[in-house]
Homo-oligomer: A and B are copies of this chain.
Amino acid sequence: MKAASSLSQTEPEASLEDRFRATRQLSEALVAPLSDADATIQSMPDTSPAKWHLAHTTWFLETFLLRDHLAGYTRYDDRWPFLFNSYYESEGARHARAARGMLSRPSLDEVLAWRSHVNEAITPLLGRPDLTSLIELGIQHEQQHQELLLTDIKHALWSNPLGFAYLDGGEGRTVRLSASPEWHEHPGGIARIGHEGPGFAYDNEGPAHRVLLEPFALAGGLVTTRAWDEFIADGGYRAAKLWLSDGWAWVQRENISAPLYWRDGEHFILSGWRERDPDAPVTHISYYEADAFATWAGLRLPTEFEWEAIGRGHSAAEGNQLDEAASVEPDGSDSLFGGCWQWTRSAYLPYPRFRPVSGAVGEYNGKFMSGQFVLKGASCATPRGHSRATYRNFFYPHQRWQFTGLRLAKDL
């Protein structure tokens, strides 16, 4: 199997059409190592089959661009919207999320053919100025699903006792930066938060507004697997007093004693079972684990506002991200963005004066604003150009199949 490493992804400054084409191609390159069966199975209700991601992103374009804006377009197959709508209530009934793994048909090849059809049919719309933001949303939406596709296929392959690899080789990049001993200090005061100005952003990144910060410092490096091994050795998973109450209940109920994908000195990565690198960032941890670790370390998680205040001075492009898929799985890069998504202690809630946009597309972000926490940064599986300091990723506190890690903070 050989992944998308030779794919030359265009730069953000490329034209909208070029970026659209490159994004669509990248999705297809990502499934190249997969068989029809690999792309069909679903290993838990949180994940979706790879084939489903390919189809859902296509449904999104066919629905909100072709159907709504291309006169005379007829659906490629009338029966498929029922299968590939994710959660848009306003788009009608849909297949149960937990049963996505039952769809052995349409096959991977049929879905790829549908993609080609839509890619072709959409051509006349790509130059229309009134559709620029919708096309941009289509690109961004597909990029999100590229990351999910990778985390979901990782989980699926790990669920097979034989532990098949998604990628050959997997030696990854040899560059390894030691974890920075430095802290990013901030004097506190009023900070500007949220997206403003040109460039794409999701609705949940605005409106831009001010928040008041106390003086704090943000760690220069991510927590490493070496530090995590110390936490385990010190009984971290057995010490109730380190944990949030819900977290402790989760540890007990699920028998948690290590990050997801760990066994003995190994972890399962997209290249299969490999020895762990003590200097690489720990990943695949839940919010509960991140919070317990911070308590154990006598420190804390940052808020999303603290992270953003520091992050504004850094470039998201520093990360080792998905344009070189051979390096998927984080190494020890010290970029603020690189390696993994970083849990913050901020609940995912609306910013002041937030209003969802109207129409089905408005279901995009706002309706998930309860029970989840914000993550900042980006991961090794995030497509290049898909993150920024204002980006708000969000997951439930028990979830850990994403590339999730942590960066500590402290009061000054």
Contact = CB atoms under 8 A, between A and B. Distances in A.
A185 to B, nearest CB: 16
Contact of A159 (B102, B160, B211, B345): B102
Residue picked from A83, A240, A350, A363, most chain B C-beta under 10 Å: A240
A271 to B, nearest CB: 15
B369 A244 contact: yes
Interface stretch (A32-40, A58-66, A222-230, A321-329): A32-40
Contacts of A104: 35, 37-38, 40-41, 156-157, 160, 164
Interface in A380-397: 397
A82 interface: yes
Classify chain A: how many residues form its interface, as a range: 35 or more
Contacts of A253: none
Interface in A103-148: 103-108
A79 B160 CA distance: 11
A349 interface: yes
B411 A353 contact: yes
Interface stretch (A3-11, A13-21, A87-95): A87-95
Nearest to A79: B162
Contacts of A368: 244-246
Interface of A: 35-41, 43, 79, 82-83, 87, 89-90, 95, 99, 101-108, 156-157, 159-162, 164, 190, 209-212, 214, 240-241, 243-248, 287-288, 291, 345-347, 349-350, 352-353, 363, 367-371, 373, 397, 411
Given A36-B37, A352-B411, 16 more contacts: A40-B40, A41-B101, A82-B161, A83-B162, A89-B248, A101-B101, A102-B160, A103-B160, A104-B160, A105-B160, A243-B367, A244-B368, A244-B370, A245-B368, A248-B367, A353-B411
